[in-house]
Structures are given as C-alpha cells and as structure tokens.
Chains A and B, each alone.
Chain A
Amino acid sequence: MTGRLEAHLREIRSAGRKALVPYITGGYPGWEDAIRAAAANGADAIEIGIPFSDPVMDGPVIQQASQAALESGTTPQSVLEAVPGLDVEIPLVVMTYYNLVHHDGHRRFAHRMVEAGISGCILPDLPLEESEPWTRAADHEGIETVMLAAPTAPDERLPRIAARARGFLYSVGLLGVTGERDSLAASATALAARLKAITDVPVLVGVGVSNAQQAYEVSRVADGVIQGASVVRRLVESGPDAVGDYVAEVRRAIDS
C-alpha cells in the first residue's frame, strides 16, 4: 500500500510539478515557527531533524544547530511531542541517526512517530544491508522508510535500494556531507537520472543543493529537491521568517 508521503509526492509529479522538501533541525530555537513558515511558503513536505550527538552525514551548519538543540535539552521525545502542535497539513518526515531508534526499540520508536503524526523516516547511517529490523517495524506501524542512494553505488545496487524505498528515494547529490557548495556537483543530476531510469518511486535530490538556482537545475531531472543546510543557516542567522522567504524563493525557481 502506498503511504501518505509517497502518494502526495506522486500526485505532485502527476500534476507536472516538482516537490520541495526543506529540512529543519528539531529543537533549535524557532524550529516550530520555521516549519510553519516553510509550509506556508510552498513546501510540499518537511524533514524534521531529531538531533544526535554524532551526526556523521552532516557538515558544520547542521552539526552546530544539532549541538545547540541538544545543549538546550532537546530529546527525541520533546521533538515528537511538539509535532502535533505544528498544525501543518503537509506530510512530515523525521531525519535522524540509527542509534536513537535502536536505543528506544524499533517498534516503540516507529509507534511514537505515528502518534506524533509523522509519515516517513530517514536514517542516513542505516544502509540497505542493516535495515531489515527497522523496516519490518516501520512497515508494521505504517512509517515510510526513505532510502538513500549515493553516487558511488554500482548499477546493480540501485534497483535493490529502490525496491526497499517508501515515500521517496533520496538521491545523494555529491560525495560528501550536508552543506552548501558554490556550484552543483555533476553527480547530482547524473545519479538522479540513473535512478529515474530504474524506478517509479519519486526521486528527490538532497545534500549539496545550495540555492534556488541549483534547486532549479536539479529539478529539471529529479522529481524534487531537499534543502537542508541552506535552510538551517537562514534559521540560525535570521530566524523563521527568513526560512519562509527562502522557501518561497526556491518554490518560484523550481516552478519556473
């Protein structure tokens, strides 16, 4: 059965539009207003980061936001408990690291997400080969597990990852961690094209897509784009309103 997140993204694709998914670090001052601002300015879904002590896939911007959130007492539960109060209509996706799930228990963590109204989950340090205990629990509870595909993957690996992806397929834009870059890596569109050729699951590109122009370039090939560090930096530097302005700007670019 297709879940809510995937159904929503497929609908957007059918309508000839591109999906825009901003990322916000849960627990960082202003995060709830930032999510509301993003939703009000054209986001199609939102990734909520649950901060972890050792975020190996994140560059300095998201690392520092996560650390600040942790230092102010943010916990997985405090983020999830705040989610129903956000009162946004679009699907919400949790992005976090596997140990927080492993420690709480797969079923229990999946159930907490369901209760909070979360649709999907991204665990960037849980590759296909290790994912079964989690996906079994997530499938059972109705949480859509987004799988990541990276530019280093040989061709034979991609269909296996795509077959396990629910919600969407996260196409990693470059070799590296989250963060803004001056230009879009060639690998961003190349991998998205490889994935589009082998799967019907919506393909969204994230990591290293740094501004409206780059989001536009990526969206010519992919079904949508994820905006992480560029969003979090605006939240950190200027607050939630700046997040809304930026999401609107990217929206205009990818709709053009």
Chain B
Amino acid sequence: MTDTALPPKFDAESIMTEPDLTGRFGEFGGRFVPETLIPACQELDAGFRDAWTDPSFREEFATILRDYAGRPSLLTECFRLGEHLGLRVLMKREDLNHTGSHKINNVLGQAMLAKRMGKTRLVAETGAGQHGVASATAAALMGLECKVYMGEVDVERQALNVFRMRLLGAEVEAVQSGSRTLKDAVNEAMRDWVATVGNTHYCLGSVMGPHPYPWMVRQFHRVIGDEAREQCRALTGDDPDVVVACVGGGSNAIGIFSGFVDTRARLVGVEPAGGAAVARGVPGVVHGMRSYLMQDEYGQVEEAKSISAGLDYPGVGPEHSYLSSIGRAEYPNVTDDEVIEAFKLLSRIEGIIPALEPAHAIAWLVREAHTMRGQTVVLNLSGRGDKDVSQMMDVLTARGELA
C-alpha cells in the first residue's frame, strides 16, 4: 500500500481530532490484538473511513437516528433539582431514545457499517445489558445474526435485559471465566471474533478496544454533544459552565464531551469508586488498547466492583486517558451510597428514574453543587432506570427504606 497523500484528518481543528496513524490519542490507544485480528481491524478502519466520508451513508445514519432511535433527544431543564442544588441543570435525555439509552447511536452505526462491509453476524459484549439490548435491536432491524456475551454475575442481576435480548432474537451466553463481569465478556467476545472474523463484526459497545473502535464509536456518539450544544445555546444563549457524564468505558461521556471540548465548558467524567481507572489506575494494555487500567503490582488486571453493572470496568477508553493527561477533562469518582441517594433524589424531585450509570453523574453534581452555585450544568442522562428497579427494590428493602 502506498500512502503518499494522506487524507485530511477528521475534525482537525478540534482537541478531539482523529487519532494518529497508529490509533493513538497522545500516548494512549493503539492496536494490541492477536495477529489474527489485525487484518480485520485494518479493514474496519478503511471501511469506516469510506463510510464516514460517504454522504449517502451519513444521510442514512441521520435518518435512522431520527426515524428509528427517536433523535434528537430532548434537553430538559430540571427546575426543581436546580433549585434544590442552587444551580441550573439541563439534562440530555438519552434515556428517551429507543431501547432506553445512548447505546443505540453506536450500534445503529456499526450495524449499518457491518452490512456495508458484507458481514452477516454481530458479536457484542454487555455489562448492564443496555449495549446487548441495543445490539440485538440493531441486528433484528437489519437482519443480522447476533450473539451477546454477558458475565454470569451480570446475567443474574440484569435478568430482564437478558430476556429482552432473547426476545429480540439474539443468543446470550453467560461468561463464566475470570470475574464473570464486563471485562470477561469483552475477552469472550474477542475470542469469538478471532474464530469467526470472516463473516462477523465485533460490535464493541464503548470507546475502547483496538483502533479504530475508540475513534469510530466516538464519531457515532458525537451526535449527543452536537445536539446538546445547539440546544443549550438555543435555551440559554450560551455554552454551559460544566458538562458532566458517567464513565465506565466512557462512550456516553465521549459523545457529549465531543460537542463541548472546544468551548469553555469544564468537562467532568464520573467514575464509580470501585472502578476508578483514571484515579486509581496506571497505564496498561488490555482489550486492544493502552489506557489507564486498575491492576495489581504485577500487572494482573483487577476486578471492578460497583453497584452498576454498566460501569464495572477496570479500564477506560484511551481518549479519556488522553483528555485527563492534558488536563482538559477531570475524572472524580463517587461511592455506591452516593449513587443510591442520587437515584432516589432524581426519581422524587423530577419524576425521572435514572439508570444507575448516570446516577453517578447526578451523585457528583449533588456532592459538588455547593462549589458551582449559579452555574449552568449539562448532565448526560445516558439511560433510563427501568432495568435497575428490581435491583434497587432489593437494595432499598434491605436498608429498610422501602415500605
């Protein structure tokens, strides 16, 4: 291959531009996968570039996001929460998308791309089940086969989503290796892909994995930030002071950050205390990427532990590591107890039951609101809480807080 004339970089003028030719954001990212998968990653990179520069693909993607996923999602001003906290809160309502979370943006993009590349089957990993449900949905819509890997622990705590996936025609396999949560589901999905790479696309659910995934998944999710910026300007006449989102792998946060990274807004990604890769991790290599990673003194990957299956991940997407390393975004963490309080608060004060994942962002806002009096905050409400109500019923009953 001769590449004398490189194509112009996407978003060259933005802090969140395209990664370099090795798939790096600064010193993070890359493509650390078994040799078997290298040609597939290269093919995907070329396929995505080709699609993303093709106006007909972009138009079809925009149409499907509008007519099937229900975009644009609303930006709701939360007056009572704002009054309670002493600031102005605007919630980006990704919970109102079809399938109940932001995950649908990425899977529709990847499923369209998989079809365009002649693949007939999707494999996906899932933690809370939102990405699995979204993948199964996109596969059903586009007539693709779908297999979802889910840690056995998560299969138990997210039984409803398992049923949804099966109803949608996907095969769900409970992963019994390792910690039996999200990281092991990723391992198993990669093992499947190594064996089936000819007809199968790995529909990775976050801004992680080998290049081009972190970049590609960000591009599919940047609609969140692009919409929110315009909506915020229309509503307030200005950009917000703060943009906050929860971070496991970090796809919803990357999506909303991409719309504000070049404004003056402070960017905050909230991790669970039990899975705080940026705060407690050091650079490491797993799942195809170099990024902050929670590991022991020898480099064995540690298990994440949080109330939210969707954030139970010991690593983080490489672009988050980069944004942290250059000081453009900050990554605090919150405890399970703070999350439970936030989950209850938003339900009672706004009539919105959030998923446990974005409840992390709300928990941070509640804790830090006193430092931001009078400011405007855009919070990405990445998913709805229906999937979590039975788990929370048990938690609150055990605490004696539920009649």
Interface residues of B (CB under 8 A from A): 22, 30-40, 177-178, 183-184, 187, 190-191, 194-198, 282-288, 290, 293, 295, 298-301
Is there an interface contact between B31 and A130, defined as CB atoms closer than 8 Å?
yes
B197→A175 contact, CB < 8 A: yes
Within 8 A of B (CB), among A81-122: 98-104
| 8 A Cβ contacts from A129-165 to B | 129-130, 147-154, 157, 161
Most buried by B among A70, A101, A130: A130
Bound-state Cα–Cα, A150 to B36, Å: 5
The answer to whether A236 has its CB under 8 Å from any CB of chain B is no
- Residue from A55, A60, A127 within 8 A of B32 (CB atoms): A127
Contact A177 B32 (CB under 8 A): no
Which of B33, B36, B287 lies in contact with A175, CB distance below 8 A?
B36
A76 contacts chain B at the CB level, 8 A cutoff: yes
Q: How far is the CB of B87 from chain A (nearest CB, A)?
A: 41
- The reply on A75 being an interface residue by CB < 8 A is yes
Q: Out of A76, A101, A102, A148, which one reaches B34, CB within 8 Å?
A: A148
Assuming A102-B284, A152-B36, is B177 touching A67 (CB within 8 A)?
yes
B354 to chain A, nearest CB (A): 31
Chain A residues with Cβ below 8 Å from B37 are: 152
Q: Which residues of A contact B35 (CB under 8 A)?
A: 124, 127-128, 147-150, 152-153, 161, 172
**Across-interface contacts of B196 in A (CB, < 8 A):** 175
**B194 and A177 contact, CB distance less than 8 A:** yes
Is the pair B298, A127 in contact by a Cβ cutoff of 8 Å?
Answer: no
The distance from the CB of A207 to the nearest CB of chain B, in whole angstroms, is 9
CB distance from A33 to the nearest CB of B (A): 24
Q: Which residues of A contact B31 (CB under 8 A)?
A: 127, 129-130
* Residues of A contacting B32 in the complex (Cβ-Cβ under 8 angstroms): 98, 125-127, 130
Chain A residues within 8 Å of B, Cβ to Cβ: 52-57, 59-60, 63-64, 67, 70, 75-77, 98-104, 124-130, 147-154, 157, 161, 172, 174-177
Whether B300 contacts A53 by the Cβ 8 Å rule is yes
Assess whether B195 is in contact with A175, with CB atoms less than 8 Å apart. yes
Q: How far is the CB of A182 from chain B (nearest CB, A)?
A: 15
Instruction: Pull 7 A–B residue pairs with CB atoms less than 8 Å apart, ordered by A.
Output: A56-B33, A56-B34, A59-B191, A77-B298, A102-B284, A104-B299, A175-B198
Asked if B34 and A124 make an inter-chain contact with CB atoms under 8 angstroms apart, the answer reads yes
Q: How far is the CA of A134 from the CA of B6 in the complex (A)?
A: 28
Contacts A67-B177, A152-B197 given; does A100 touch B298 at CB 8 Å? yes
Interface centre among A77, A99, A154, A174 (most CB of B within 10 A): A99
Query: What's the Cα separation between A101 and B184 when bound, in Å?
Result: 21
Asked if B299 and A100 make an inter-chain contact with CB atoms under 8 angstroms apart, the answer reads: yes
Residue of A nearest to B298 (CB): A75
Chain B residue at minimum C-beta to C-beta distance from A51: B300
Q: Which residues of A contact B38 (CB under 8 A)?
A: 127-129, 150, 152-153, 157
Structural contact, A176 and B195, CB atoms closer than 8 A:
yes
Chain A, residue nearest B41 (CB)? A127
Give the residues in chain B near A53, CB-CB below 8 Å: 178, 300-301
- Chain A positions within 8 Å of B195 at CB level: 174-177
Q: Is the CB of B34 within 8 A of A52?
A: no
For the complex, give the distance between the alpha carbons of A149 and B198 in Å: 17
CA of A129 to CA of B196, assembled, Å: 23
Q: Known interface pairs A99-B284, A175-B196. Does A152 touch B39 (Cβ–Cβ under 8 Å)?
A: yes
The 4 closest A-B pairs by CB, nearest first: A103-B299, A176-B195, A150-B36, A53-B300
Residues on A with C-beta less than 8 A from B40 are 152
Q: Is the CB of B36 within 8 A of A151?
A: yes
A54 and B301 in contact (CB under 8 A), knowing A63-B177, A175-B36?
yes
A127 pairs with B34, CB closer than 8 A:
yes
Q: How far is the CA of A129 from the CA of B36 in the complex (A)?
A: 13
* A70–B36 touching, CB < 8 Å: no
CB distance from B208 to the nearest CB of A (A): 13
In the complex, how many angstroms separate the beta carbon of A45 from the nearest chain B beta carbon? 21
